[in-house]
């Protein structure tokens, strides 16, 4: 079975995909895939509990079957337009991956509404430092693009369903090379009142950070680089953990809050 890989996993395996000894006839499960990857690539075993498995653009759990001919991908920890009229009024919604720079002013204008008395805006920005790395000069963002676009649209739909008072919404994530000071992600929400705008903006941001398969590489002033989140989780004594007890565990561990945004 051929499996796509993204972010820092591409460096771990030397390319954009791996081959594992599993039948591609619908009989294998996600748990089988995890076990096969751990066996074929032992150096990945300590990382697997931080890795999600996507099957046909949907994150899958261990017991889920892998249909014959499905597109399968290993996703390391993530870094995060249509218009809706579901509740009787036209609501401008913008989602997607964008090439920097993010057009902040233009985006705010596009989700403006006459009935909006509040706009809540979050802008992620590249900082000049990161813990344990010293100076940072650049972030490099890549994505599993079809799934990322789909997840951004799904999150927007959920936010609008949960908060029908929302009058406009934008969820944009930059990909590519971003220098210090560049904006990485834009979350904007308009509503008649500030409470809804703030709440919806925060919920959208957390969902983007948790679910959208965008991966971040930090470039330091000395030229060294690292992929954020792609390290074995620490043990209780602060040491790097060895291989997980059960590499078929379907639930990836969420990395710590992104220190660069």
Of the ranges 26-30, 101-105, 160-164, 239-243, which one carries the lowest mean pLDDT score?
A: 239-243
Judge: domain 83-220, CATH 3.90.1170.40: yes
The pLDDT confidence band at residue 78, using thresholds 50, 70 and 90, is low
Residue 240 has pLDDT above 70, yes or no: no
Of the ranges 1-15, 80-94, 180-194, 216-230, which one carries the lowest mean pLDDT score?
A: 80-94
Nearest to 164 by CA among 208, 205, 202, 200: 200
Residues 63-71 have a mean pLDDT of 93
pTM: 0.69
CB 95 within 8 A of CB 28: no
The pLDDT confidence band at residue 74, using thresholds 50, 70 and 90, is very high
CB 166 within 8 A of CB 232: no
Residues 221-246 have a mean pLDDT of 66
Phi, psi of 226 (to 5 degrees): -150, 150
Q: Which residue has the tokens 């934008």?
A: 170
Q: Which residue has the tokens 């920097």?
A: 100
The pLDDT confidence band at residue 28, using thresholds 50, 70 and 90, is very high
Nearest to 121 by CA among 102, 148, 97: 102
Give every CB contact of residue 61 below 8 A, 6+ residues apart in sequence: 30, 250, 251
Which residue ranges make up each domain of the chain? 2-75, 83-220
Residue 195 has pLDDT above 80, yes or no: yes
The reported pLDDT for the residue numbered 175 is 95
Cα–Cα separations (whole angstroms), residue 105 to 94, 190, 195, 215: 13, 14, 22, 26
Encode pLDDT of 85-125 as tens digits. Answer: 544 456 788 899 999 999 999 889 888 888 899 999 999 99
Residues 152-175 have a mean pLDDT of 94
The reported pLDDT for the residue numbered 110 is 84
**C-alpha–C-alpha distance, residues 250 and 143, integer Å:** 21
Phi, psi of 218 (to 5 degrees): -95, 135
Burial of 239 by CB count in 10 Å (0-12 exposed, 13-18 middle, 19+ buried)? Answer: exposed
CB 31 within 8 A of CB 250: yes
CATH architecture of 2-75: Roll (3.10)
The reported pLDDT for the residue numbered 47 is 79
Of the ranges 62-76, 81-95, 192-206, 246-260, which one carries the lowest mean pLDDT score?
A: 246-260
High-pLDDT (> 90) share of the chain, %: 60
The reported pLDDT for the residue numbered 90 is 64
């Amino acid at each position: 079975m051929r499996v796509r890989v993204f972010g820092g996993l591409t460096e771990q395996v030397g390319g954009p995909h791996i081959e594992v000894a599993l039948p591609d006839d619908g009989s294998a499960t996600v748990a089988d895939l995890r076990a096969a990857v751990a066996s074929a690539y032992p150096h990945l075993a300590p990382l697997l509990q931080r890795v999600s498995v996507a099957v046909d653009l949907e994150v899958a759990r261990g017991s889920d079957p892998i249909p014959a001919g499905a597109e399968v991908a290993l996703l390391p920890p993530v870094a995060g337009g249509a218009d809706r009229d579901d509740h009787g009024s036209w609501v401008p919604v913008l989602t997607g991956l964008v090439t920097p720079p993010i057009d902040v002013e233009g985006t705010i204008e596009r989700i403006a509404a006459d009935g909006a008395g509040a706009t809540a805006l979050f802008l992620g920005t590249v900082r000049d430092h990161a813990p344990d790395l010293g100076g940072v000069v650049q972030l490099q963002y890549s994505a599993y693009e079809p799934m990322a676009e789909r997840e951004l649209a799904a999150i927007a739909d959920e936010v609008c369903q949960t908060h029908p008072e929302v009058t406009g919404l934008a969820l944009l994530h930059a990909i590519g090379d971003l220098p210090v000071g560049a904006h990485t992600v834009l979350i904007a929400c308009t509503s008649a009142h500030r409470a809804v705008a703030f709440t919806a903006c925060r919920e959208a941001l957390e969902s983007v950070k948790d679910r959208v398969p965008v991966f971040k590489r930090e470039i330091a002033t000395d030229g060294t680089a690292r992929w954020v989140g792609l390290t074995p989780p620490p043990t209780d004594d602060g040491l790097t953990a060895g291989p997980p007890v059960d590499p078929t565990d379907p639930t990836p561990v969420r990395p710590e809050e992104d220190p660069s945004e």
